């Protein structure tokens, strides 16, 4: 194994560790939301510092590999993909922290009816599943699995688009739930952005594996793959 191979393997391990930490952050924030667990929300808030440490470390290590080893072809694509995925994961960690902070600041738990009407829990579960599947796609270099992320992100966008009218109708029925309703709306917005970041990760996986830049044309690419083109 060359020195470059060793450094690339180290990068892969570091990114995998960060990925699992961000997955855990999202999962804990969801449980804090479901059970109004302020202690768990506090844990998510504190742990965000570890996510930031990983981001800085991976950025530094990617820069060192580029400067010292001058990687080319698939090795270069891998390092560039790691750089961008690293950024996306850090942003997802920020959104998990943002959800935790909302819970920490609340005085009372959410009305479960609000969960059902908005579909926020379904949205959260899909976000977490997409995040886990992108990790598998990266780890196994499975571009077909990465491609599934784009259509799944559309589901999140639909829930987000309906959120304003759904929340508005709910507030009319329960005006005393205005604060909680707006908090749920804020969480939905954050989850929609998590979906966008996860889609960005899927794009980088495809770039790394296939040397294809699919940004801004993912819908056409998915359709072509579905039709066997």
> Where exactly are the structural domains of the chain?
3-226
How buried is 17 (Cβ within 10 angstroms: 0-12 exposed, 13-18 middle, 19+ buried)?
A: middle
Look at the pTM and tell me if it is higher than 0.85.
yes
Give Cβ neighbours of residue 30 (< 8 Å, ≥ 6 apart). 121, 124, 125, 128
Which residue in the block uniquely carries the two structure tokens 């804090």? Answer: 32
Residue-wise pLDDT tens digits, 17-42: 999 999 999 999 999 999 999 999 99
From 21-25, 52-56, 180-184, 224-228, the region with the lowest mean pLDDT: 224-228
pLDDT score of 229 more than 80:
no
The tokens describing 18, both together, are 């960060």
The tokens describing 206, both together, are 């495809």
Q: Dihedrals φ, ψ of 107, to 5°? A: -95, -25
Q: Smallest Cα–Cα separation from 102: which of 213, 13, 191? A: 191
Calpha distance 188→167 (Å, rounded): 11
Q: Which CATH superfamily is domain 3-226 in?
A: Phosphate transport system protein phou homolog 2; domain 2 (1.20.58.220)
Q: How confident is the model at residue 226 (pLDDT cuts 50, 70, 90)?
A: very low
Calpha distance 76→71 (Å, rounded): 5
Q: How confident is the model at residue 224 (pLDDT cuts 50, 70, 90)?
A: low
Percent of residues, the chain, with pLDDT higher than 70: 93
**Quick check: helix, strand or coil at residue 227?**
coil
pLDDT at 218 (0 to 100): 52
pLDDT score of 47 more than 50:
yes
pLDDT score of 203 more than 70:
yes
């Amino acid at each position: 194994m060359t020195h470059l191979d060793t450094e690339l393997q180290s990068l892969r391990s570091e990114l995998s560790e960060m990925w699992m930490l961000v997955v855990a952050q999202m999962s804990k924030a969801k449980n804090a939301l479901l059970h109004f667990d302020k202690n768990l929300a506090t844990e998510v808030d504190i742990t965000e510092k570890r996510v930031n440490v990983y981001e800085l470390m991976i950025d530094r290590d990617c820069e060192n590999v580029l400067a010292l080893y001058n990687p080319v072809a698939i090795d270069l694509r891998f390092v560039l993909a790691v750089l961008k995925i690293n950024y996306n994961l850090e942003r997802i960690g920020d959104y998990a922290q943002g959800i935790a902070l909302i819970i920490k600041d609340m005085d009372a738990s959410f009305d479960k009816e609000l969960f059902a009407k908005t579909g926020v829990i379904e949205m959260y579960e899909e976000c977490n599943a997409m995040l886990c599947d992108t990790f598998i796609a990266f780890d196994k270099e499975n571009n077909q699995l990465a491609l599934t992320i784009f259509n799944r992100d559309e589901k999140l966008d639909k829930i987000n688009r309906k959120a304003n009218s759904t929340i508005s109708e709910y507030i009319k029925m329960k005006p005393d739930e205005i604060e909680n309703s707006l908090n749920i709306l804020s969480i939905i917005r954050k989850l929609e952005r998590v979906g966008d970041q996860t889609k960005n990760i899927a794009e980088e996986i495809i770039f790394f594996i296939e040397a294809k830049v699919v940004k801004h044309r993912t819908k056409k690419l998915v359709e072509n793959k579905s039709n066997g083109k």
